[in-house]
Amino acid sequence: MTQTIVSDQLQQPSLRVHAHDNVRVALRDLPEGMEIDDNGGHRLCLSEAVQHKHKFTLHAMQPDELIVMYGVTVGRVVEPIAAGAAITTANVEHSTANAKPQGHREHWDAPDVSAFTGQTFDGYHRSDGRVGTANHWLVIPLVFCENRNIEVLRQCVEDAIGDDPYRDYKHMARRMLHGDAQAAPAPTPDAALFPNVDGVRFLTHTLGCGGTDDDAQSLCQLLAGYICHPNVAGATVLSLGCQKAQIEMLKEAVAKRDPEGLRPVHYFEQQATNTEPELIRQALGSIFDGLKVANAVERRPAPLSELTIGVECGGSDGFSGLSANPLVGAVIDRLATLGGSGILSEFPELCGVEHELLARCRDDATAERFQELMEAYQRHAASVGAHFSMNPSPGNIRDGLITDAMKSAGAAKKGGDSPIVDVLDYTEPQVRKGLNLLCSPGNDVESTTALVGSGANLVMFTTGLGTPTGNPITPVLKLASNSELAQRMHDVIDFDAGPIIRGEADIAELADELLRLCIDTASGRYRTKAMRLSQLDFIPWKRGVSL
């Protein structure tokens, strides 16, 4: 699945990604009548204008013929298409060709990582041996009924320690309402109070009761993944008391991940407390005590093998699979070679490339687990009248991702080319070093939430249209597939993969640069744009129904 794009191709107005492809990608807006050289001595005249990022046919195609891109089937023709015409949702529908893999790959071409041999990052070493890239105290509700009290705690703590992420906006509002002369200056946080703590994180959600027992168990497993995450020093938990997701369920889930009880967790139940003020007082005391505990841990050097990078995409465009996604995959290959780990999620966006992933599984058991989880997810979608082919959003389609298979073929590039060592169901913790697959939905925030819950201590997130997605406890690096986006949303984007599209840099060159940025982020030397904007998104995946 390694993709090699040579720069002389990228100087052309269009690109044929794989030798077996029967479509090309427009790298800029192409006018009707323009002649295209396919680099094989054949010239093609465009029968209509083609927008940049969209694909056009190399020859006339009839219904039932297959569209091939990235060397795999990504669609089926439903209406005749002229040579040099754009493929659209009107003339192509989702289709895949799931050829069965012939055994498992025994060898892969590991990248040269000599430039990173012996390098370290400065992380937070936990008692269980894992290393965090950040240091947070966590405050979470077991049920949505406690969201209001979580918000009370958030405002109280931020006011007390001077760490209100929206202080500048509040100052802006005061100036707008009263004028500069009457507006009080925005207070600055007192960083000296807890210099080794990256902040208190307050989660809210809509689950914990009113759903299935499985949803309650799943929520507790996810919350336990966050509580026991290497980026978390400890947690304060609020419970109402009567909900399905009981304190004992969460304690059991935490004990599975932390059998020696090394992580401090404080539980408070409102229905067992005399008054709400008493509940808030007790919870505040546990948070401030927890901050002192967290502040006692300082960053120390750790090997790159302690990095686990989750990979995600959102707001993808027609360039995502050509630049940002394979760039991320190249970083994951480097990290795997160095003994670290990657997690590739979003099962609906792996539809159509299953056979390639199955061939990369380290053994039959791993391959069977992937196939079982994938088929179970598809059956669940079918039971509610849905299908993976419904995955592409209007924005995806507008920017050239016509079918789910086309989107998947590019999305899977984030996983690079290294062997797949394990397959995880939702909320399962990552335990094996190397590339892991994680069953999660295609929803950006739900999937990012899942990646972190399974242990990712850093996330690389690619986008072609732009999205501010972040996470409460794990840094999320945002990569733009094109430079126009990187410039337009510069306050959101951390890294520009656009030079790959323009032929100004190759993937290997930028992969080394991006890995260095990952190391700086993991060390606290670089603060991601999502963290600067306090983009702290947390949405659990609700697999069941409301009752």
**Residue pLDDT, tens place only, 229-265:** 999 999 999 999 999 999 999 999 999 999 999 999 9
Q: What is the Cα–Cα distance from 30 to 471, expressed in whole angstroms?
A: 39
Report the pLDDT value the prediction gives residue 231, as an integer from 0 to 100.
Answer: 98
pLDDT of 27-81, one tens digit each? 889 999 998 886 666 788 999 999 988 999 999 999 999 999 887 888 899 999 9
CB under 8 Å to 165, separation ≥6 — which residues? 158, 534
CB under 8 Å to 370, separation ≥6 — which residues? 354, 357, 358, 361, 420, 423, 437
- Residue 220 pLDDT more than 60? yes
Both structure tokens of 98: 């799931």
pLDDT > 70 fraction of the chain, expressed in percent and rounded: 92
Residue 245 and residue 219 in contact, taking contact as beta carbons nearer than 8 Å: yes
To 10 degrees, the CA torsion angle through 331, 336, 342, 347?
Answer: 90
Task: Give 12's pLDDT tier (boundaries 50, 70, 90).
Answer: confident
Both structure tokens of 440: 């999660």
% helix / strand / coil in the chain, to the nearest 5? 35, 20, 45
Report the pLDDT value the prediction gives residue 7, as an integer from 0 to 100.
Answer: 38
Q: How far is CA 7 from the centre of its chain?
A: 28
Q: What is the Cα–Cα distance from 401 to 394, expressed in whole angstroms?
A: 9
Q: How far is CA 496 from the centre of its chain?
A: 17
Report the pLDDT value the prediction gives residue 340, as an integer from 0 to 100.
Answer: 98
Report the pLDDT value the prediction gives residue 393, as an integer from 0 to 100.
Answer: 72
Q: What is the Cα–Cα distance from 338 to 422, expressed in whole angstroms?
A: 18
Q: What is the Cα–Cα distance from 399 to 464, expressed in whole angstroms?
A: 9
* Closest to 135 in 3D by CA, of 297, 283, 267: 297
Report the pLDDT value the prediction gives residue 163, as an integer from 0 to 100.
Answer: 84
* Closest to 351 in 3D by CA, of 74, 66, 3: 74
- Residue 4 pLDDT more than 50? no
Q: What is the Cα–Cα distance from 523 to 133, expressed in whole angstroms?
A: 6
* Closest to 520 in 3D by CA, of 458, 448, 470: 458
Report the pLDDT value the prediction gives residue 101, as an integer from 0 to 100.
Answer: 59
Both structure tokens of 259: 């059998």
Q: Residue 242 half-sphere exposure, CB side, CA atoms within 13 Å? A: 3
pLDDT of 370-389, one tens digit each? 999 999 998 888 887 777 66
Task: Give 456's pLDDT tier (boundaries 50, 70, 90).
Answer: very high
How many Cβ atoms are within 10 Å of 37's Cβ, its own excluded? 12
Q: Residue 334 half-sphere exposure, CB side, CA atoms within 13 Å? A: 26
Q: Any idea what the Cα angle at residue 208 is, between residues 204 and 214, rounded to 5°?
A: 130
Q: What is the Cα–Cα distance from 521 to 527, expressed in whole angstroms?
A: 6
Of residues 303 and 163, the one with the higher pLDDT is 303
Sign, CA dihedral 257-260-264-269, equals: positive
Q: Residue 142 half-sphere exposure, CB side, CA atoms within 13 Å? A: 25
Residues β-bridged to residue 35: 45
Burial of 229 (0-12, 13-18, 19+ CB in 10 A): buried
Mean pLDDT of the chain: 90
pTM of the model: 0.88
* Closest to 51 in 3D by CA, of 78, 31, 67: 31
Residue 239 and residue 282 in contact, taking contact as beta carbons nearer than 8 Å: no
